Amino acid sequence: MFYRSHPSMKREDPVKVIKEALGKALVFYYPFAGRIIEGPRSKLLVDCTGEGILFVEADADVTIDQLGDSIKPPCSYIEEFLHDVPGSSGVLGCPLLLIQVTRLACGGFIFAIRLNHTMSDSLGLSKFLNTVGELALGASTPSLLPVWEREILNARNPPRVTCVHHEYEQLTHTETSIVMTLQEHEKDMTHRSFFFGPSELKSIRKHIPPHLQKCSNFEVLASFLWRSRTIALQLDPDEVVRISVMINVRGKQGLNVPSGYYGNAFAYPTAISKAGLLCQSPLGYALELVRRLKTQMSEEYIKSAADLMVLKGRPHYTTVWSFLIADVTRLGLGDIDFGWGKAVYGGLIGARPCASYHVSGFKNSYGEEGILVPILLPLPIMNRFQQELLSNGIEYPRKIAPRL
């Protein structure tokens, strides 16, 4: 999160203010001060040792304006703004949060955080950071009290898998895996962010049949990116590819997840297709597959996924020829206020080879607001991906700025 200086906070040190607020917040979110241990049958547990989190204080001789495009994902200086403390990045026995506050020469600052994902998802982390902000502003207690209650999403007894979960299937592939492909191109990995404003979305929707025009922009864009990315990969036509959409389960009928719950509460239902069929079919084919994913997200699907975790011993998400995408436009990290107002940008720092997300809060050179999508691919594949977008009227943006 990138913050500008504020006239009323000239005499305040953001490091001191945030560090004190963090200490107060950890009283309510005390499990974050513990360590993950492994219990019977490989079950992960939190040992509430009170050892605390890692906090790094830093100074940078640059202004927020000098950072330019580095404010938007991908961040060019992540190693400077979030120091990877040796021995801190493991799952077991390591600090659950790493936070760095970097003062800038202009009086602004950067707040960066790394989370042990076994503890919380992005929405849960947002609840914690909102509490830090409230306490920094003088509150004595959070407006929303945290809820642990991890048993809410436990597997049933006895566990039973009643739904199809393509996200965990190990399929037979005709070529080397995406992991192998990326290893071959490790030095050529390229990170680029693509902007989709009103004109870009209008251009994409021209390829959608009338009965699908009511689909959301997220569904349309996810389908378009999946198809374009698959075309760029140039796979064997019989290769099976997947798209997974990360969906929040809070508020899902039958689950009764409390509003203060800050654990992992998401699932990623997955659609599959032959690569050749996806690439050769109109965009409506991919959109139909993506649209159906939301209908899969029933109470039964979520419980079936929890049961599968137990029966299969916490299987890993299958990354082979997969594309995982999430909508974080409503995450609200940019709205967190430590006393310096809203952030210029608040959100994730970049994409992963098999995953991306939609970010709001940016505008193009015409002043139009839109969605920013960071993509990480090997350079040759990235160039083909960019060319595919260009053939559909989507140009690589030369100037993108935060909304504020």
Say which of 65, 69, 117, 188 is annotated catalytic.
117
CA–CA separation, 164 and 304 (whole Å): 9
Greatest Cα pair distance, the chain, in angstroms, is 64
258, two tokens = 């409390």
Annotation says 337 is catalytic:
yes
> Of the candidates 364, 361, 333, which has an alpha carbon nearest to the alpha carbon of residue 348?
333
Q: What is the 3-state secondary structure (H, E, C) of 208-247?
A: CCHHHCCCCHHHHHHHHHHHHHHHHHCCCCCCEEEEEEEE
CB 357 within 8 A of CB 121: no
Beta bridge partners, 100, equal 56, 112
Q: Collapse the DSSP code of 46 into the 3-class scheme (helix H, G, I; strand E, B; otherwise coil) and give the result.
A: strand
Q: What is the 3-state secondary structure (H, E, C) of 102-169?
A: EEECCCCEEEEEEECCCCCCHHHHHHHHHHHHHHHCCCCCCCCCCECCHHHHCCCCCCCCCCCCHHHC
Say which of 83, 185, 335, 337 is annotated catalytic.
337
CA–CA separation, 370 and 350 (whole Å): 17
Annotation says 185 is catalytic:
no
Which residues belong to the active site? Answer: 117, 337
